A and B are shown apart, each in its own frame.
Chain A
Amino acid sequence: MAYVIQGETGDWEVVCGLEVHGQVVSNAKLFSGAATAFGAEPNTQVSLVDAAMPGMLPVINETCIEQAVRTGLGLKARINLTSVFERKNYFYADLPQGYQISQFKYPIVGEGTVILDMPDGTTRAIGIERLHMEQDAGKSMHDQDPRRSFIDLNRSGVCLMEIVSKPDIRSPDEAGAYLRKLRSIMRYLGTCDGNMEEGSMRCDLNVSVRPVGETELRTRTEMKNLNSVRFVMQAMEYEAARQVEAYDAGETIVQETRLFDSNRGETRPMRAKEFAHDYRYFPDPDLLPLVLTQDFVDRIKADLPELPDDKKERFIADFGLTPYDAGALVASRRAAEYFEAVAKGRDAKTAANWVISNLFGMLNAKGLDIEANPISAENLGRLIDLITAGTLSGRLAKDVFELMAETGKDPETLVEEKGLRQISDTGAIEAVIDELIAKNAGQAAQFREGNEKVIGWFVGQVMRSTQGKANPGVVNQLLRDKLAK
């Protein structure tokens, strides 16, 4: 179902493109040998090159090139064997050179595609325009002093990949799905850790609207450096609505950069008057064109891990999972690997349910990452085995699951410790049932008169007196037998 905004005179659609800046996973910076790790003391990860001292020169990091190619392949994009670094010239305190080394006319990666898994199970293809490499800037701190700002250049020179989508995104949900998919791909490949709170992945949003049916693109506005998926979606929703209102009121949309106020969920124009930037791009004369061989690209391609889309296809084909379930499992490579370990030699659907509903639910509730998962795949697998073998009831298994999360112990140990073995011995259960029926003749009579609901009460009572350990299937069967008499 298409996302439309109902204006006064008709329906409008949103046209959105996203520019994502991802910090490349590498030990050292793009053009200098300083470290890239997050959180160091100010200016301790700065070389003379990063500080733009007189006479300093850039030398390129081979791993950064590989990571960009790897990401391009993950985006099913064309790798440009020849690309050129250009200088983007402007003045700002966090840009010591007075220019950023970037790529302009000839980026390293060309057009590609990202497939989105929508919540309703459908897929959508979002076009990628290009990916290029560039230097990150330093950090300015403005809140420490009333008259001065402080500059930390640790981040200056870290390699960024700028990934530009085509304006194919049509709803906030799609924007969210796109960002999550992009992040997932980069994490699968190990090229960017996609941590938006820490700033290793940042997003610029371009939004315009147009009446449904119109094909021309109208003026767009830009919101920069949004650092959460939620903010991107909120900003898009707000801005699209604002633009429709403006058009309805007979106003024009000005091409501008706007700020997103995350507290209010609104966008507003920037305070400072924005002058047009003239970046005066030209090829960096300190560098030569980057020329890759097809061989180099092929070797990287051969070494790629199985990517989410392919893994999802395989899960559907081999494990018979629904696209939705498969999609949920492949969102993270670790989670997918975890699932496969749990599903090995077991019923895939059961394994999928436990991982998606219970495990992911538990991780969410505890605010944990899959990396910090306290329940090993082996243990979860063994829990499932206990249920399959009838040793543990499904209901009590959930309790054991909680305990496993708390203690990290294996299920067998916990079952023994807590004495949770399922009672399937019909003799024992019959004894409990007989006593119960004897003491509750009235309810027994109600059942015989046709009140089905009473059986639930009886089951509950049996479960209570057996501390939940009675096998519910067996209890139900025996109750019906005995009550029928």
Chain B
Amino acid sequence: MPISAVVDFPVRPEARPYLDAFARRLSDEPKWLGARRRRGLARFAEQGFPNRRSEAWRYIDLRALEEKPMLPAGVASTLANAATDDRLAEVAFAEAAYRLVLVDGRFAPELSAVEGLPAEVWLGGTARTIAERPDLVRSAIETSLFDAERPFAALNAAFFGDGFVLDIPPAVALDRPIGIVHLASGGTGGSLHTRSLVAAGAGSSASILETFVGDGSYWRNDVVELRLAAGAEISRVALVEEAAEALHIGELLALLGPASRLTSLVLLLGGRTVRHEATVRSDGEGTQCALRGAFVLSGHQEANIVTTVDHAAPAGETREVFKGVAAGRAHGAFQGRITVRPGAQKVDAHQLSQNLVLSPRAAIDTKPELEIYADDVKCSHGAAVGDLDEAALFYMRTRGIGREEARQMLIEAFVREVIEPLGPALLREHLLSRLACRLAMLEK
């Protein structure tokens, strides 16, 4: 008898197949993890998939998920083959000092290169970290703040198979970027649940590029948590270039300690339906949080960028710049909330959402929300939706630049503004070249 028949919590109908799949899992995991997974499963079973009635999900169509379950993929063969090698060569950031590759949601050591890290730094797959260094992950996994109101994160807790863990002790600076590649081989057809954790010790620093690519039809459900201790500095880039039929749900949670600095850059370039949500809690005084991102959509693509920055401590600074580009019949949305809690004085927050709608059937929604409960703060936002500047196009054409090339230059200039402030230079160049590839495929 399947477990769903006997559980002691309410179960939404669309959650039943997932409960059954959970019951079929074979696992020799530690008990604490099993308990944690069951809690996540129960949360998901009660909530089911979010729908448009929920404010945070109103701009995305997830009916396909409700209609047809996409159960967690089994452990596929992660052996490298020529196709994965080619894919990696195409998308991987060659200059990454350290590379960790996950194939179908599982750490693939033979494709990874994590040697040469300072001895005190830990970088490894989540599953292996749980087995070998549970001290690094147990409390973060057990106490994650993700589940409440977050059915995908709850489901992720129940099913995640792997991910990566980066643990940097205090005062260690990694001077070259870490490249994480999430590769879907196209062989599974189900859902890929990955959970990752970055713990940055006081005064440490690192730069991380996560690339999401794949072939075929799949649903990726990725969760990453960043914990920045006092004065830590983390830059995290999510480059989403999923397969044309893929569904990608990405969640980032960041906890900012005093005077820590977070840079998050999200580039949503590929995938049928893509959503990235960043939730930042500024718990320490004097944090600096830079959230930037863009989506470039065409055809029937759909993408949402959602951000929530919660200033719970004084003197924090937030800078948000998000750009949207939609062509064809694509639909994009940006939802950005900034909350300043009572007592969080001297917070300085600014949010900008600029959007280009390139065809009459494309659409972009933008929804800024400021919730301010302190009186001595500076908070502002701006939002715009429009078309390319005709005067600029004509000017460029009078110099001999063809209409299409001129359009492309203007779109690229529009998006690159979110990439340009990023260091290091080689990483920036890599992202700009991925953007150029994407724009070259944008329909006229």
Whether A and B are associated in the same complex: the answer reads: no
Binding site for B on A (CB under 8 A): none
Binding site for A on B (CB under 8 A): none
